């Protein structure tokens, strides 16, 4: 069973790192190859893929990809590249995409375009002979299902932490020039939103609020996040209530974050929410309910109302 990691370069450094990590995690004895795809070759990305242990790095280039990240256009370009890379569509191949919403969408599109099987967002992946076994969460994280693909192409996303880049460089680099005609992207009107905080991706500290924090409270959390050189997140109920934009939703249906410290304010600690926080992150829980589940997984806990504690924190942090 061969493994191939596909990385649309326009998706950025986090996508590159998390996809390479998945490749390393599943490399086994057979190693893995990497397909970098974009409008221009990137020596840095190639170098990282080599130092992550890739056996072969394919640099696929399509001038039509320079404008954006339309998943269907990316899928069409990747399909052309795979036609050149894969000896036969029936040969077993585990194809890994960057974890996250965009990667999961791309996995589904590629599976359909190439008559493979989409395995989506996997909790674990393993290879047994020529079969791929995928474990996925279901029913809000309360159940697990195991899917098995016996043959052909399997497309999956897996979170496996961060990649390491200290492996001997043995990879050969092959350039693929793509020519397929890509679907036209959306004609969109864009406006700047009021979003100014740093993104969740890559933040070393996230201050996150839940259902119990009102609009004024989120303003304080934003101030606290900035004072702590971090950024702001929120639970699904907080997003539903309009306290924080959906781009800052943490959880199984939102973003996955892996900060050093995750400061959860007024968050009860449901499975769905905690599924979006790395096991490596240290959770600080602030909640007025001493029985809240969040305290069972936190490193530090404070039983308090945010209305008193957050202002006290801001005062103590004042220059």
253 touching another protein, by CB under 8 A: yes
Structural contact between residues 51 and 166, judged by C-beta atoms closer than 8 angstroms: yes
Q: Alpha-carbon distance 137 to 144, whole Å?
A: 5
According to DSSP, residue 198 is labeled P
Give ∠ CA 70-74-77 in degrees, rounded to 5.
145
19 touching another protein, by CB under 8 A: no
CB of 266 to another protein, least distance (A): 15
37 or 277, CB closer to another protein?
A: 277
309 touching another protein, by CB under 8 A: yes
274 touching another protein, by CB under 8 A: yes
Q: Alpha-carbon distance 223 to 238, whole Å?
A: 17
Structural contact between residues 239 and 233, judged by C-beta atoms closer than 8 angstroms: no
CB of 296 to another protein, least distance (A): 6
Member of 108, 127, 167, 226 binding another protein (CB under 8 A):
108
According to DSSP, residue 185 is labeled P
166 touching another protein, by CB under 8 A: no
With a CB cutoff of 8 Å and minimum separation 6, the contacts of 312 are none
**Window of 27-35, 48-56, 167-175, 234-242 that interacts with another protein by CB under 8 A:** 234-242
Q: Alpha-carbon distance 66 to 82, whole Å?
A: 19
- Restricting to residues 172-211, name those near another protein by CB under 8 A: 183, 186-193, 195-196, 199, 204-205
CB of 26 to another protein, least distance (A): 17
Structural contact between residues 146 and 131, judged by C-beta atoms closer than 8 angstroms: no
25 or 273, CB closer to another protein?
A: 273
Member of 72, 126, 162, 223 binding another protein (CB under 8 A):
72
How would you label 139-160 residue by residue, b for 16+ Cβ within 10 Å and e otherwise?
A: eebeeeeeeebeebbbbbbbbb
Member of 174, 282, 288, 293 binding another protein (CB under 8 A):
282
**Window of 3-11, 44-52, 163-171, 226-234 that interacts with another protein by CB under 8 A:** 226-234
242 touching another protein, by CB under 8 A: yes
87 touching another protein, by CB under 8 A: no
Member of 31, 214, 261, 288 binding another protein (CB under 8 A):
261
According to DSSP, residue 312 is labeled H
179 or 296, CB closer to another protein?
A: 296
| Nearest C-alpha neighbor of 217 from the set 307, 88, 82 | 307
With a CB cutoff of 8 Å and minimum separation 6, the contacts of 33 are 2, 3, 4, 5, 54, 55, 56, 57, 58, 85
- Restricting to residues 120-139, name those near another protein by CB under 8 A: 120-121, 133-134, 136-139
10 touching another protein, by CB under 8 A: no
């Amino acid at each position: 069973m061969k493994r191939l990691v596909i990385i649309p370069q326009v998706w950025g450094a986090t996508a590159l790192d998390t996809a390479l990590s998945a490749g390393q995690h599943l490399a086994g004895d057979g190693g893995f190859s990497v397909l970098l795809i974009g409008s221009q070759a990137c020596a840095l990305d190639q170098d990282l893929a080599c130092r992550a242990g890739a056996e072969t790095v394919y640099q696929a280039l399509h001038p039509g990809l320079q404008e954006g990240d339309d998943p269907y256009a990316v899928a069409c370009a990747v399909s052309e590249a795979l036609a050149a890379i894969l000896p036969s569509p029936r040969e077993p191949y585990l194809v890994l995409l960057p974890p996250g919403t965009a990667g999961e969408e791309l996995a589904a599109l590629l599976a359909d375009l190439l008559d493979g099987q989409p395995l989506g967002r996997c909790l674990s992946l393993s290879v047994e002979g020529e079969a791929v076994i995928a474990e996925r969460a279901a029913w809000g994280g309360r159940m697990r299902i195991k899917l098995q693909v016996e043959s052909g192409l399997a497309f999956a996303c897996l979170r496996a932490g961060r990649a390491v880049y200290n492996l001997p460089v043995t990879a050969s680099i092959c350039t693929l020039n793509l020519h397929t005609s890509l679907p036209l992207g959306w004609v969109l009107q864009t406006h700047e939103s009021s979003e100014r905080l740093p993104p969740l991706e890559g933040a070393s500290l996230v201050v996150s609020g839940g259902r119990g924090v009102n609009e004024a409270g989120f303003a304080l959390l934003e101030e606290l996040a900035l004072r702590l050189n971090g950024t702001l997140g929120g639970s699904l109920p907080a997003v539903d209530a309009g306290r924080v934009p959906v781009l800052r939703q943490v959880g199984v249906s939102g973003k996955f974050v892996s900060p050093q410290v995750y400061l959860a304010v007024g968050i009860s600690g449901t499975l769905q929410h905690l599924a979006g926080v790395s096991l490596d992150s240290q959770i600080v829980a602030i909640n007025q309910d001493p029985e809240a589940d969040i305290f069972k997984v936190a490193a530090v806990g404070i039983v308090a109302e945010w209305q008193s504690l957050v202002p006290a924190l801001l005062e103590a942090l004042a220059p």
